[in-house]
Chains A and B, each alone.
Chain A
Amino acid sequence: MHLLSNPDLLVRIASWSAFAVGGLVLAMLGVISTSRLVLNLRERRRQLFLATWRPLLAESLEEPLVLLPPVSKFDGTTLLGLWNYYYESLRGDAHERLAYAAGRVGLDEIARRHLRARSRRRQLLAIATLGNLRHAESWSDLERLALHESPMLSITAARALIRIDAQRAMPALVPLFAAREDWPPATVAAMLSEAGPAVASGPLATVVDQTAIEHLPRLIRFLELADPHHGLPPVRRLLENPPEDRIIAPCLRVLARFADPHDLSRVRRYLDHPRWHIRAQAAAALGKMGTEDDVAPLTRLLVDKEWWVRYRAAQALVGLPFLDGTGLKKLTEDQKDRYARDILAQALAEKEMA
């Protein structure tokens, strides 16, 4: 205490600061210890719950269980987590059986309660559950959440809507797929694959004309997941008079994906484009759909100044079904340019390895 009333002001300040800091340290330690104790108790409760419910859910996969024990409000989150874990791990009939078990235990009500929780973790679990349960009554809530600014919340809600009714969800979601740059393309592609081309193709094709140019390259990439009947016409239209260079490469990818011989002339037009990534994409597309007429232009690209163009041209040549090993060997030997020979040798070696 002598320090706290020291005549020197600096010493007094330092002493009081040390005192305060010590108090803070003790308080933090208290928080850590209490939190760890609470957590241990919760973990013990969770383990007990899981010990009962894991076998029950596993059993319900074999035969529908009519009687299931009631779930206390403290165990709701654990049950949601466990149920979703099973649901995401399994496929086919198991989903129906899990849905039946969920119905017996009132999982939808638990999820609805969690949807109103403040905790983001609980909300996410609730959204995933409602989607997996195909809970149509939650449609409007999920639709609202799909517009939420949080990418994680909105994507999870979008996925839930697709699971509930993909046909109904698509017209509202496709514009978001194009515009929400914070939705990872891989996740969007997974959602479109889940919906299936029969459902996704129409809305994707329709929305192309209404999409702003800045979002167009992103949207065109998703057309690869459409069926050719819907996927090709908008791409062909765009390639007639491309509004911007950066939409050409994604369009060429779509043409390569469907490999329709009618598009050959459209692809060949871009083999000499000043932008290298467009030339590379055109070469890759010819690898999927090219004819004997394309061997010469592709061979010419083997000496392109850009490595990727040379590589894609070599891969395209090696992949052409009518060029066999002897033909490719002769083509390699005929090359006077070292870069052309090297890149063809690499593409051939890669093919052999595969």
Chain B
Amino acid sequence: MTLADVMGVVQVLFLAYFVLLNGGYVMLNLISMITLTRYMSEHSLTALPQAGTGLEPPISLLVPAFNEEATIAASVRSLLQLSYPEFEVIVVNDDSKDRTLDVLIREFSLRPFPEAYRVRLKTQAIRAVYQSTDHPNLRVLDKANGGKADALNAGANVARYPLLCCVDADSILQRDSLRRVVQPFLEDPRTVATGGTIRIANGCEVSGGFLVRAGLPRNLLALFQVIEYLRAFLFGRMGWSPLNALLIISGAFGLFHKETLISVGGYRPKTIGEDMELIVRLHRVLRQQGRKYRIVFVPDPVCWTQAPEDLRTLRNQRIRWQRGLSDSLMMNRALLFHRKGGAVGWLAFPFILVFEWFSPIVLVAGYAFTLTAVLTGLLSPPALLAFLAVEIGLGVLLSVSALLLEELSFRIYPKLSHVGLLFLASLLENFGYRQINSWWRLVGLYRWATGAQARWGEMKRKGL
């Protein structure tokens, strides 16, 4: 076999991978299109006042906080203004080194409360429970440091209501987020978890803790992430949800049936991607037990989050995400092709494993292979041009189809110029951004494989 033959075989393998990857995304896109259209017409009356019954199940909002002294008071104040019949806010101060706890005590008139909570999930020690005298539905836990997952577990231990909503302290919620995200629990008693669409807040106007006008960021990196989020949520998650094969609910905002969350052991503290790991574990355990359950994605934009605008923060985030993905899949690998695995074990898990977890290796190897082949003359310039055109074209096609889904549903970005700018971004991201992302994900994979110490890195935030 000559080198040319080997290159030919490798070329066909890359091509097959590429066709399957994009074919899978196109299928998800079609499922999303049908589901989203149906969802939009079925839920059209929710815009009317009194659409809620006032009898929805009460919700405990868990807000882990670590060194949030600058923003925690405003965040909690906006959470307390959410429109929902009955909910409590539990802020978990995870041993902040700054004055987070002092700010909370002062701003919300907290006083120690003799809470006889149950330790159903093992956590770091809780030092004190505080109750607000101004807001009867606000409590604060002060505990020894254990990380975000540990803080959420501590919150779950003291939560009084049957549904737990885990929210990042810096998340910007829609006023009716809870009402929207609780709908699947009302419509189907088998529902154990729901999550909604997370959008990028950069470039938007925020007032009083709520988003008042959607806009696009001027920063190119953030703009690329708008496109990524549209793709990830509008067809990445929307596509898997009707098959009950959704493998992630974002840690920024997710709603869980408390008893089910506790029955599977809560969040796993030693994991980086604790949000995804929990969902994959829920699937694995509930499938193995043969329980009927639903994990549902709500397409409504319920939560806005700030995206990194500098390369360093973005790099740390992507490395962390890849490590989280690796942890989630490997810790729950028993789900893969499990005889009771259903669509999640036989479709979603293998798809994510091959086309998301393993893709950085294939993509970086693909770029290296192409470069080598061009340099050694094994790949002609016309062939390079043709393959690049397909690769970029398919990337743009998927982004544009996400834009189409957005057009069919929420039309968050009101101006035609917004659509134009997003289209431009979907073209530009193919020249450098996607490649560097693949590289970072490969680094994440390497660090996960070698067991390097995980670091959260610092998120540089801009005032909104």
Contacts and interface: CB of A to CB of B under 8 A. Distances in A.
Contacts of B118: 307
Contact of B42 (A17, A39, A120, A346): A120
B386 A3 contact: yes
Interface stretch (A178-186, A255-263, A323-331): A178-186
B390 A14 contact: yes
Nearest to A31: B404
The listed residue with most B CB atoms (<10 A of its CB), out of A40, A120, A151, A310, is A120
Given A10-B383, A182-B188, A345-B114, 8 more contacts: A18-B393, A81-B47, A89-B49, A121-B40, A128-B48, A184-B53, A311-B116, A346-B114
A29 B47 CA distance: 29
Interface stretch (A20-28, A60-68, A100-108, A203-211): A20-28
Contact of B394 (A11, A21, A121): A21
Given A32-B407, A32-B419, A88-B50, A18 B131 contact: no
The listed residue with most B CB atoms (<10 A of its CB), out of A3, A18, A121, A124, is A18
Interface residues of A, number: 58
Nearest to A28: B400
A17 B396 CA distance: 13
Interface in B358-395: 380, 382-383, 385-387, 389-390, 393-394
B394 A189 contact: no
A2 B382 CA distance: 8
B400 A88 contact: no
Given A21-B390, A24-B397, A353-B131, A10 B11 contact: yes
Contact of B401 (A28, A39, A40, A84): A28
Contacts, number: 143
Contact of A3 (B41, B51, B382): B382
A354 B136 contact: yes
Contacts of A22: 389, 393
A276 interface: no
B400 A25 contact: yes
Nearest to A218: B189
Contact of A342 (B114, B390, B394, B419): B114
Given A89-B49, A187-B53, A121 B41 contact: yes
A125 interface: yes
A343 B115 CA distance: 8
B402 to A, nearest CB: 10
Contacts of B38: 120
Given A88-B50, A184-B187, A349 B114 contact: yes
Contact of A182 (B114, B187, B386, B390): B187
Contacts of A84: 48
B228 interface: no
Nearest to B56: A186
Interface residues of B, number: 54
A42 to B, nearest CB: 12
A189 B52 CA distance: 12
A14 B383 contact: yes
B44 interface: yes
Interface string B13-49: 0010000000000000000000000101111110111
Nearest 4 A-B pairs (CB), nearest first? Answer: A184-B186, A18-B389, A21-B393, A120-B41
Interface in B220-258: none
The listed residue with most A CB atoms (<10 A of its CB), out of B55, B386, B389, B400, is B386
Given A11-B380, A28-B404, A152-B42, A18 B390 contact: yes
Interface of A is mostly: helix
A291 interface: no
A156 B45 contact: yes
B45 A21 contact: no
B397 A35 contact: no
Nearest to B401: A28
B261 interface: no
Interface string A243-282: 0000000000000000000000000000000000000000
A125 B48 CA distance: 10
Contact of A18 (B11, B386, B401): B386
Interface in A190-243: 190
Contact of B380 (A8, A25, A152): A8
12 contacts: A3-B382, A11-B382, A14-B387, A15-B389, A25-B393, A28-B403, A120-B44, A121-B44, A152-B43, A152-B45, A187-B53, A187-B55
Interface in B128-152: 131, 133, 136
Contacts of A74: none
B416 interface: yes
A14 B404 contact: no
A312 to B, nearest CB: 12
A38 B211 CA distance: 27
A339 interface: yes
